[in-house]
Amino acid sequence: MYVYEKIERKDRSLRVNNSCSSREEVVVRRLSPLPQSPVPAAAAATKGHSGLLTNSKSGHSGLLSSKSGQLGGDSKRMKGLFKSKPRTPVDIGRQNRDILIFADQSSTSLSDSKREEKMAELAKNIRELKSILYGNSESEPVSEACAQLTQEFFRENTLRLLIVCLPTLNLEARKDATQIVANLQRQQVNSRLIASDYLEKNTDLLDILIAGYANTDMALHYGVMLRECIRHQTVARYVLESPNVKKLFDYIQLPYFDISADAAATFKELLTRHKSTVAEFLSKNYDWFFGEFNSKLLESTNYITRRQAVKLLGDMLLDRSNAVVMTRYVSSRDNLRILMNLLRESSKSIQVEAFHVFKLFVANQNKPPDIISILVANRSKLLRLFADFKIDKDSLSEFLETAVEAAKRAGEIIREGFYKTKHVEHKGLVDLVTETDKACEDLIFNHLKQQHPSHKFIGEETTAAYGITELTDEPTWIVDPLDGTTNFVHGFPFVCISIGLTIGKVPKVGVVYNPIMNELFTGVHGKGAFLNGKPIKVSSQSELVKSLLATEVCFSASSLSAQSCNRVRSLRMTGSCALNLCGIACGRIELFYETGFGGPWDVAGGAVIVKEAGGIVYDPSGEDFDITSQRIAASNPLLKEAFVEVLQQSE
């Protein structure tokens, strides 16, 4: 007689008894002999019917029953033998691969419920894989586990499956999968980046990633993957030498702001990371490349495209490895004409970047005669232009341009999602969050970090997920990606993106954009406030009884008394703190009061705009406004004293 141990192993097709998962097979291994002793008659009588491995509650179903024969005292030990072993990174990786294959091959034959079950299991596995590579709140990633998982991914072609099957995943699983693919590009196995070797042999995956820009749902995910892959020099060389690089010029011009900006980021990475490869490419392909670059990017009708292009041009030409290319570029009168036109732009950022390139034309020791003649003919105009030309890379105006770009990009997502069915989650009793909130915050933060990587960032959705980030004196972007989420869910068009920049904990730049009503409010410290480019001012009303009051009365906010409401003309509850502040700034309403709102992201942008429009922002007690206090009141200066009196009576 022998004791047996249950061992679990993978099997792609077999299902064995109800205690096993659909992909496990029971293997019985003989461990050690048991002493031979008489078997009770009852046990012997049932042995032939139940077998050695049965374990019925009656206690008389076989030799491994908890109350049978010589094994009665070993029940606890036997239960331990039958416990499932923890899954290794390799196990999870293989199961992930199996489900991807199964879901892909059975996409048309599976029932909806069965497919949902498989995709839910796949999403869970992908989260586990991400946790292995990135760690979690309780532990850091283990290098040995990461190495095992990396080897499994590339050995079994799981990376290919994850990329190809990405469109079949839900949004959260796509995000996790994107992070996994990105992380694997940096994982070393035996001091070697095996991802580089794999991609060199599977270049068709790079074609898939680049073509992904044509798919609005996949573009941003594939874009992140592609930029990480370009970190490998062999990959960058393949992309530059393939027809794919020409496609990027077209993707940068797409009408979808977020996708075009992402394609521009990939384009920049491709042309700046690997110096020797880029220099060789530009030398061999100078004519067609700069022909496309000038006509499609530098002379684009899109302001943002021009700004990104002229900055990239400066980065390329000022790099020493591109000295030969730079000399050739600054010897062209057509190129000089384009740069001089860019110097005349109203945008300070474009002017500054164009100036850096223009200096190369002037500094060229071997100027062609036609270049000299153009510079001489325009000497007086250039001197007048440069007389008031100040270069301040950290100017508030530049910060404003960055924030406006980010807000408009996010606005396209909100506008598109406004008329679609929403997937809604609850953050509390009444507070809602949608996939649009999360997508917008990711987009805005990525854009701001690209432009100002040394700055700090605070956002509503990241705070909800990871806790409060302390506000410091450092330049800090404070973002509400979708203020008025409840309005958004109900199709009420009072929604906006709110972006504020604080320096020394004081709001200095504010942008509030309602993409549904196409209203862009902006304000910069000392520069005034604007609505769609036109100056705005607060109301000049001096009587409470003739004033409109905006507030929010809900479960989490203090409410005004009925008597207090009778002191003003009427009450408005619109559902957006940021837009209420902008209503003060443009004179639509005279008074605003709210306590208990979400956090500084609700007021950081609007507070600047109110102040620059001639209004004042203060604590309902009449004291100075504290952006972290979740208490705010706003009005014109004429109404403050009377309004504070009403608020104090109410509180």
The position carrying tokens 């594939």 is: 222
Q: Which pLDDT band holds residue 425 (cuts at 50, 70, 90)?
A: low
Q: What are phi and psi of 508, to 5 degrees?
A: -120, -30
On the question of pLDDT at 18 being above 50, the answer is no
What stretches of 85-170 show up as alpha helix (H) in DSSP? Answer: 89-105, 112-134, 143-155, 158-164
User: Which three-class secondary structure string do you get for 549-581?
Assistant: EEECCCCCCCCCCHHHHCCCCEEECCCCHHHHH
Tokens of 314: 């400066």
Q: What is the pLDDT of residues 479-516, one digit of tens each?
A: 999 998 889 888 899 999 999 999 988 999 999 999 99
Mean pLDDT of the chain: 81
User: Which CATH number, 3.40.50.720, 3.40.50.150, 3.30.540.10, 3.30.460.90, labels domain 402-535?
Assistant: 3.30.540.10
Task: Give me the mean pLDDT over the 426-451 stretch.
Answer: 71
On the question of pLDDT at 628 being above 70, the answer is yes
Q: Residue 284: its pLDDT value, please?
A: 96
Q: Which of the two residues, 314 and 558, has the higher pLDDT score?
A: 314
CA proximity to 483, closest of 451, 521, 449 = 521
Residue 483 is assigned to a ligand binding site: yes
The letter for the amino acid at 532 is N
Query: Cβ distance 513 to 408 under 8 Å?
Result: yes
Query: Cβ distance 467 to 459 under 8 Å?
Result: no
Q: Residue 523: its pLDDT value, please?
A: 95
Tokens of 90: 């390799």
Tokens of 380: 């007086």
On the question of pLDDT at 269 being above 90, the answer is yes
On the question of pLDDT at 615 being above 90, the answer is yes
Q: Residue 109: its pLDDT value, please?
A: 58
Angle 188-199-176 from CA coordinates, rounded to 5°: 70
Q: How far apart are CA 568 and CA 539, in angstroms?
A: 15
Q: Which of helix, strand or coil describes residue 255?
A: coil
Task: Give me the mean pLDDT over the 149-177 stretch.
Answer: 89
Q: Which pLDDT band holds residue 44 (cuts at 50, 70, 90)?
A: very low
Tokens of 305: 């495209």
Q: What is the pLDDT of residues 305-333, one digit of tens each?
A: 898 899 999 999 999 999 999 999 999 99
Q: Residue 88: its pLDDT value, please?
A: 81
Q: How far apart are CA 384 and CA 407, in angstroms?
A: 34
Q: What is the pLDDT of residues 442-481, one digit of tens each?
A: 889 888 887 888 889 998 766 544 445 678 888 999 999 9
Q: Residue 90: its pLDDT value, please?
A: 82
Q: Which pLDDT band holds residue 83 (cuts at 50, 70, 90)?
A: low
Q: Residue 38: its pLDDT value, please?
A: 43
**Secondary-structure breakdown of the chain: helix, strand, coil percentages, each rounded to the nearest 5:** 55, 15, 35
Q: How far apart are CA 108 and CA 33, in angstroms?
A: 52
Q: How far apart are CA 364 and CA 357, in angstroms?
A: 11
Q: Residue 563: its pLDDT value, please?
A: 56
Query: Cβ distance 625 to 632 under 8 Å?
Result: yes
On the question of pLDDT at 264 being above 80, the answer is yes
Most confidently predicted of 171-175, 286-290, 394-398 = 286-290
Residue 197 is assigned to a ligand binding site: no
On the question of pLDDT at 73 being above 60, the answer is no
Q: Which of helix, strand or coil describes residue 77?
A: helix
Q: What is the pLDDT of residues 324-368, one digit of tens each?
A: 999 999 999 999 999 999 998 877 778 888 999 999 999 999 999
Query: Cβ distance 184 to 134 under 8 Å?
Result: no
On the question of pLDDT at 427 being above 90, the answer is no
Q: Which of the two residues, 104 and 536, has the higher pLDDT score?
A: 536
Q: Which of the two residues, 39 and 301, has the higher pLDDT score?
A: 301
Q: Residue 436: its pLDDT value, please?
A: 77
Q: How far apart are CA 565 and CA 468, in angstroms?
A: 34
On the question of pLDDT at 536 being above 70, the answer is yes
Domain with CATH 3.40.190.80 in the chain: 544-650
Q: How far apart are CA 272 and CA 231, in angstroms?
A: 11
CA proximity to 574, closest of 512, 643, 651, 511 = 512
Query: Cβ distance 276 to 283 under 8 Å?
Result: no
Q: How far apart are CA 292 and CA 313, in angstroms?
A: 13
On the question of pLDDT at 28 being above 80, the answer is no
Residue 11 is assigned to a ligand binding site: no
Give one DSSP letter per residue of 532-549, joined into a string: TTEE--------GGG-EE
Q: What is the pLDDT of residues 386-424, one digit of tens each?
A: 776 665 545 788 899 889 989 988 898 888 888 776 555
On the question of pLDDT at 561 being above 60, the answer is no
Residue 315 is assigned to a ligand binding site: no
Q: What is the pLDDT of residues 94-153, one digit of tens each?
A: 887 888 887 666 555 566 777 788 888 888 888 988 989 998 878 888 989 999 889 988
Q: How far apart are CA 100 and CA 589, in angstroms?
A: 56
Residue 394 is assigned to a ligand binding site: no
Q: Which pLDDT band holds residue 426 (cuts at 50, 70, 90)?
A: very low
On the question of pLDDT at 581 being above 70, the answer is yes
Domain with CATH 3.30.540.10 in the chain: 402-535
State the CATH class of domain 544-650: alpha beta
Q: How far apart are CA 57 and CA 50, in angstroms?
A: 13
Chain CA centroid to CA 132, Å: 21
